Amino acid sequence: MSKIVMNSNAFMTRKDVVCFGVLAVLLLAVFPTVLDPFRLNLFGKYITYGFVALGLVLCWGDTGILSLGQGVFFGLGGYCMAMYLKLEASTVEATKIQSTPGIPDFMDWNQLTELPYIWKPFHHLGFAIVAIPLVPVVLALVIGFAMFKRRVGGTYFAIITQALASILTILIIGQQGYTGGVNGITDLRTLDGWDIRTDGAKLILYFGSAILLLASMVLAQFIRRSKLGRILVAMRDKEDRVRFSGYDVASFKIFVFCFAAALAGIGGAMFTLQVGFMSPSLVGIVPSIEMVIYCAVGGRTSIFGAIYGTLLVNYARTTFSEDLPQVWLFAMGALFIAVVMVFPDGLAGIYRRYVDPHVERLLGVTRKPAGQITTSDTASAVVE
């Protein structure tokens, strides 16, 4: 048995299983018992960012595609969820003071008298659930095709995705009759009749997010350990060699970009459910870059690192902004610079260097599994 687990082709080594177990215990047992409902809800919110960070590990850490537009996908997923919830909250009964009852309040304020066509399918929960990963994937597919087939990568790709984030923000804000504008879609109440605002519902949503995240991690781990994952890393480090070996580099990139987009969309939907609204402030450039930072702090090549990084950065931000509001921008800025300058592999890098040897001794492992992914000057390969 242990031999099979040690086999580097298995999708989880014994060490991974242990790491995974520790995280699962932390998310599913430790946090819910030690945190009060308010803090737990905050951690639930952080977990939704974890989905994005996880996608970035595959997309950026493994494949070397830095997307500064993950907020777009997060937002699209979140908006799909919010549209469904808003329609459910806007019953004729609840909106009877409006000039057109039965449509969302912000539409009424903007003189819309009829539900726009793009909103109509969102009456159905099933449609919304399908749309949450699908809409981001379709957009990612279009971008991916246009970009990767033409071998655009590196900094160009980063800046173009950044422009997309800015376009979508302006579009959402400008079309406020259809989108709720700057305010976003607020005052969401129930999911298929189930009140999402109570403490009990928030607890269930927390567990739902955590379990979904863990499941996504297993899936991500599976992809990374498969042959596909190896190709991704190979592309990052020497794209031309992979291409000359006969692989269709662009398709792999498109796949991984779409996968990351789908994860971000799911994260966005869970965010909407837990926080109770969605707004363009989660779509723009700033949140998109911050999500990259979470991933970088945790370690861009480690799925565990990315999750811990997300939780840690967000926890630090909340704590800093509560206790030292004037200082927190300094602290965040310094953290980003420190991560890049001193710990390019983030938390995971620190762990690998200082903690891992001890853990290995404890577990009786003597050699590194061949599938271990190491960062060797990730980004230098990216520009090529």
Partner 1 sequence: MPEAPSDRTPSSPFRRHLLMGMAALPAATLLPRLARAAEKPTAEVNTTGLAVTDDTVTCGILHSLSGTMALSETGATEAEKLAISQINASGGVLGRQIKVVQEDGASDWPTFAEKARKLLASDHCAAVFGCWTSASRKAVLPVFEQLNGMLYYPTFYEGLEQSKNVIYTGQEATQQILAGLNWVNKEKGAKTFYLIGSDYIWPRTSNKIARKHIEGHLTGCKVVGEDYFPLGSTQFNSVINKIKLTKPDVIYADVVGGSNVAFYKQLKAAGIDLKKQTLMTISVTEDEIVGIGGENIAGAYACMKYFQSLDNPNNVAFVAAFKKMFGEKSVIGDVTQAAYLGPWLWKLTVEKAGGFDVDKIAAASGGVVFDKAPEGYVRIHNTNHHLWSRTRIGLAQADGQFKVVYETPDLIEPNPFPAGYQ
Partner 2 sequence: MLFGYSLGDLGSIMAMQGFAGLILFSVFLLMALGLAIIFGQMGVINMAHGEFMILGAYVTYLNSQAFTAWMPSMFAASFAVGIVFAFFAAGLAGMFVEWALIRHLYKRPLDTLLATWGLSLIMQQIFRSIFGAREVGVELPGWMMGSVSASASIDIPINGIIVMVLTLMITIAVYLLIFRSNWGKQVRAVVQNRGMASAVGIDTGRVDRYTFGIGCGIAGVAGSAFTMIGSTSPTAGQLYIVDTFLVVVFGGAGSLGGTIASAFTISQARSTLEFFLSGSMAQVVVLLAVVGILMLRPQGLFVLKVRR
Count of positions on this chain that bind partner 2 (CB under 8 A):
49
Among 25, 340, 355, 363, the residue binding partner 2 under the rule CB under 8 A is 340
Spatial distance between the Cα atoms of 63 and 79, rounded to a whole number of angstroms: 28
Could you give phi then psi for residue 265, rounded to 5 degrees?
-60, -45
155 binds, among partner 1, partner 2, none (CB under 5 to 8 A by kind): partner 2
20 binds, among partner 1, partner 2, none (CB under 5 to 8 A by kind): none
H-state helical runs in the chain = 2-6, 14-25, 31-34, 37-56, 70-89, 105-109, 125-148, 154-174, 176-179, 199-225, 227-237, 239-244, 249-275, 285-298, 303-323, 328-341, 346-350, 356-363, 378-382
Beta pairing partners, 190 = 195
160 binds, among partner 1, partner 2, none (CB under 5 to 8 A by kind): partner 2
Query: Using the rule CB under 8 A, is 200 a contact of partner 2?
Result: no
Q: Are 52 and 215 in contact (CB under 8 A)?
A: no
Q: Are 276 and 33 in contact (CB under 8 A)?
A: no
Query: Using the rule CB under 8 A, is 355 a contact of partner 2?
Result: no
CB of 42: closest distance to partner 2 in angstroms?
21
Among 82, 283, 335, 347, the residue binding partner 2 under the rule CB under 8 A is 335
CB of 167: closest distance to partner 2 in angstroms?
5
377 binds, among partner 2, partner 1, none (CB under 5 to 8 A by kind): partner 2
Beta pairing partners, 185 = 278
182 binds, among partner 2, partner 1, none (CB under 5 to 8 A by kind): partner 1
Q: Are 6 and 360 in contact (CB under 8 A)?
A: no
Q: Helix, strand, or coil here: 366?
A: coil
DSSP notation for 193-261 = TEESSSHHHHHHHHHHHHHHHHHHHHHHHHHHHSHHHHHHHHHHH-HHHHHHTT--HHHHHHHHHHHHH
112 binds, among partner 2, partner 1, none (CB under 5 to 8 A by kind): none
> Of 72-80, 83-91, 281-289, 361-369, which part binds partner 2 (CB under 8 A)?
281-289
323 binds, among partner 2, partner 1, none (CB under 5 to 8 A by kind): partner 1
Give the dihedral sign, CA 374/376/378/382: negative
Query: Using the rule CB under 8 A, is 177 a contact of partner 2?
Result: no
Task: Name residues contacting partner 2, limited to 127-166 (CB under 8 A).
Answer: 143, 146-147, 150-152, 154-156, 158-160, 162-164, 166
Q: By the criterion CB under 8 A, which residues form the site for partner 1?
A: 36-38, 41-42, 45, 97, 99, 105-106, 108-111, 170, 173-174, 176, 181-184, 186-188, 197, 275-277, 279, 281-282, 318, 321-323, 325-326, 328-329
Output 213 or 283, the one with its CB closest to partner 2.
283
Among 36, 93, 322, 377, the residue binding partner 2 under the rule CB under 8 A is 377
Output 337 or 363, the one with its CB closest to partner 2.
337
Output 160 or 219, the one with its CB closest to partner 2.
160
Q: Helix, strand, or coil here: 11?
A: coil
How far CA 262 is from CA of 76, 129, 274, 283, in Å, comes to 10, 12, 19, 15
Spatial distance between the Cα atoms of 254 and 142, rounded to a whole number of angstroms: 9
Residue 74: CB atoms within 10 A of its CB come to 32
Query: Using the rule CB under 8 A, is 66 a contact of partner 2?
Result: yes
Query: Using the rule CB under 8 A, is 382 a contact of partner 2?
Result: yes
111 binds, among partner 2, partner 1, none (CB under 5 to 8 A by kind): partner 1
Residue type, 234: A
What 8-state DSSP symbol labels residue 278? B
Among 92, 167, 215, 363, the residue binding partner 2 under the rule CB under 8 A is 167
In the complex, which residues of this chain contact partner 2 (CB under 8 A)?
66, 68, 143, 146-147, 150-152, 154-156, 158-160, 162-164, 166-167, 170-171, 173-174, 285-286, 289, 292-293, 296, 326, 329-330, 332-337, 339-341, 344, 377-380, 382-384
